[in-house]
Chain A
Amino acid sequence: MNEEKPTPTPNQKPQLGEAGEHPLSVLLFSWMRSKLAFRIFMAVLAALGAVLIGLEVVFSHRPVTSIVTVPGFFGIFGFVAFAIAVLSGWPLGKLLRRPEDYYETRSGEAGRDR
């Protein structure tokens, strides 16, 4: 059967979000769901990062005596440290991840020794 969507009458407000969704969720978080929002947020962050480095150049009166005092050091360090922490998850996961019931069985594989 072909069900048609009920068309909202002029007095009815069109529903935001999906059925049953909390109004606060619609208000605060629904903008996140489009791919474009992700791109825009990424661009905003990159711009904000550049502005923060610029502000450091303007406001920091520390002489550049070591790598730590170079403007942008904290930003670059944050980016690299975060990437290292996350990317280490690939090899370490392969090395250390076991089945859910690893500790509940003798061999570490369900069905083999039960």
Chain B
Amino acid sequence: MTVDRLLDFAVTINPGFYLIIAALLVAVAKDAFTRAVALIGGPGLALFAMLYPPVSGADVSRELFVGFELSLYRPDSLSLIFGLGFVLAAALGGVYSLHRRDRLQDAAGLVYAGAALGAIFAGDLITLVMFAELATLASALLVFAARTGPAYRAGMRFLTIQIIAGLLLTAGVALYGVEKGTFLIAELGGLWNGLVIGIIDPGSTGGMLILAGVGIKAAFPLVHNWLTDAYPNTTETGAVVLSPYTTTMAVYLLARFFAGYEPLIWIGAAMTIYPVFFAVMENDLRKVLAYSTNNQIGFMVCAVGIGSTLSINGAAAHAVAHIVFKGLLFMTMGAIQLRLGTTKASELGGLHRTMPWTALACLVGAASISALPFFAGYTSKTMIMTAAESGPGLFVVWLMLLFASAGVLEHSGIKVPFMAFFSHDSGKRPEEAPFNMLLAMGLSSGLCLIIGLYPGWFYELLPFRDQAQEFLVQDLFSISHILQQLQLLTFAVLAFMVLWWFRVYPPERPGVIIDVEWVWRKAGPMVGRALTRPLRAGGRIVSALTSSAIAGIQSASRQVFAAEGVVSRKFPLSATAILALCILGVVMLISLFQ
């Protein structure tokens, strides 16, 4: 009975707390076994709590905290599918990190995962903001964990931008909650097809601030560089742990708060396009994957903006599938980073000779992200593409997404595996990745195939289950869909081979590609220097004057007080007596007038 009561209690706790408790255990673990249990058991417990919630679509409990009614745990089908992705990512990230004992990274990674998980299961805006801020701090620690100069600077930039996003989110939540008289998500808006989504009015000041904060976390255009700046500067495990949470949490928040908000369609479509061009030029393959993340999040944002049951299902499914296959691609690059200390394409090539398992995993990830039929990406992206194709007035958007699909194949489907493992022989013969890394890559590859080959169970978990099942039966594996996708991919690969054959494929060259970050990394300091030039010139003059004055005083003092100075000379006794009388007179005068 006690066990039953314990289990009943365990499922009433927000699953994010299990990961945070596991982080504490990891931080104090003295042996490898305890550490491994915490790294993998924490996500396991969270998964158990998530799959057996006491209620769904309602607050599990409500608490009063300094006068505010809070709901720490509110599970529903939208949070469940995102939660599943986060728990999978935490467990796979744990396995991937086993070879390296670093308390900071282990604990920060679990706190980050737990906070992100807590945020998506939060039933009120205050709890959500608290968890989101905790996630920000933990993620910044992961960037700093590389302990190098560039990582420190990237971490500071990352933290600054994330704090700005957090402040916007907090201010927006405060304004919106006060305006509506409640912070409880369930009371902010009504049900739409049985789900509480699209509940915040982006026209209000609070709503606008929330959208801005979430937009930065989703890496909207012009504020996307925190992502491409931070991820490549982390350790080999850091990027794997960083990649699933912040942007995916932002997609969840967009779906929960702003589903069907039309500008998101265009923002998302733009997000799918421009990273394609940057990824083509980029030399660092981890940065290519960061741009690729930006591109894939664009598909989800666009789907959220469309706001149909099919597109919301597509966004949720793609979020989880993306966590798996992007994590896998980052894992393969992490293995190269571990063995060679670099992921720059210009220094790689021919690594398949000694790292064939990693190469194979990379190819599975590449096939998945390119949406090759029967791989994970196809299962999820087809929903988004179909929603855009069938949406009224969305032809241009659909064409943009189609272009981006070919672009994805270019940078993540071909460039990453080809430049790292095939291409020209760099002469490098690194050792294959450690066993735990290979295990994590194998599990991720298996998941990519299971989701792609047997999508039924996956579709069962989507927010709108009936519509998902209908799509599975009628559309997903229809001949026309499969043929269209195969045509797109086959001819795109053919284009690659033709361009490579005629040597017009741009060679990988060392260098950095300037992006919007140029504004604050280069132009900002330049303008600052130009504006402060008069002040600095004035400062130099004042400094010169002060120095000469001090030198004068020093010289005069030396003349007066030195061994041969004025005060060292011998004076007659009468003169000394007169001087003493004068001083006494002055003192008496002062005391008289006081």
Contacts and interface: CB of A to CB of B under 8 A. Distances in A.
A102 B496 CA distance: 31
B492 A81 contact: yes
Interface string A65-94: 000000010111111111111111110110
B480 interface: yes
A78 B497 contact: no
Contacts of B281: 89, 92-93, 96-97
Interface in B491-517: 491-499, 501, 504-506, 509-515
A49 B506 contact: no
Interface string A40-57: 011001101100110110
Nearest to B410: A85
Nearest to A83: B495
Contact of A98 (B280, B432, B514): B514
B378 to A, nearest CB: 14
A20 B429 contact: yes
B487 A103 contact: no
Contacts of B501: 38, 42
A75 B490 contact: yes
Interface string B381-422: 000000000000000000000110011011000000000001
A92 B492 CA distance: 21
Given A88-B280, A93-B506, A100-B510, A20 B499 contact: no
Interface stretch (B93-101, B193-201, B352-360): B352-360
A62 B479 CA distance: 12
A8 B425 CA distance: 27
Contacts of A42: 494, 497-498, 501
Contacts of B277: 85, 88-89, 92
Contacts of B498: 42
A102 B526 CA distance: 13
B483 interface: yes
Contacts of B488: 74-75, 77-78
Contacts of B491: 49, 74-76, 78-79, 82
Contacts of B512: 97-100, 102-103
Of the listed residues A56, A59, A60, A96, the one surrounded by the most CB atoms of chain B closer than 10 A to its CB is A96
A97 to B, nearest CB: 4
A21 B511 contact: no
Contacts of B410: 82, 85-86
Nearest to A61: B480
Interface string B560-584: 0000000000000000000000000
A59 B479 contact: yes
A32 B512 CA distance: 31
A112 interface: no
A102 to B, nearest CB: 5
Contact of A86 (B355, B402, B494, B496): B496
Nearest to B354: A22
Contact of B483 (A28, A55, A76, A81): A55
The 6 tightest CB contacts between A and B, nearest first, are: A81-B406, A89-B506, A78-B488, A75-B487, A25-B356, A75-B491
Interface of B: 276-277, 280-281, 352-357, 359-360, 402-403, 406-407, 409-410, 422, 429, 432, 479-480, 483-499, 501, 504-506, 509-515, 521-522, 525
Given A78-B491, A82-B496, A83-B495, 9 more contacts: A22-B354, A53-B487, A75-B487, A78-B409, A79-B491, A79-B495, A85-B410, A92-B281, A98-B512
8 contacts: A22-B354, A45-B490, A56-B480, A82-B410, A87-B504, A89-B280, A96-B514, A98-B513
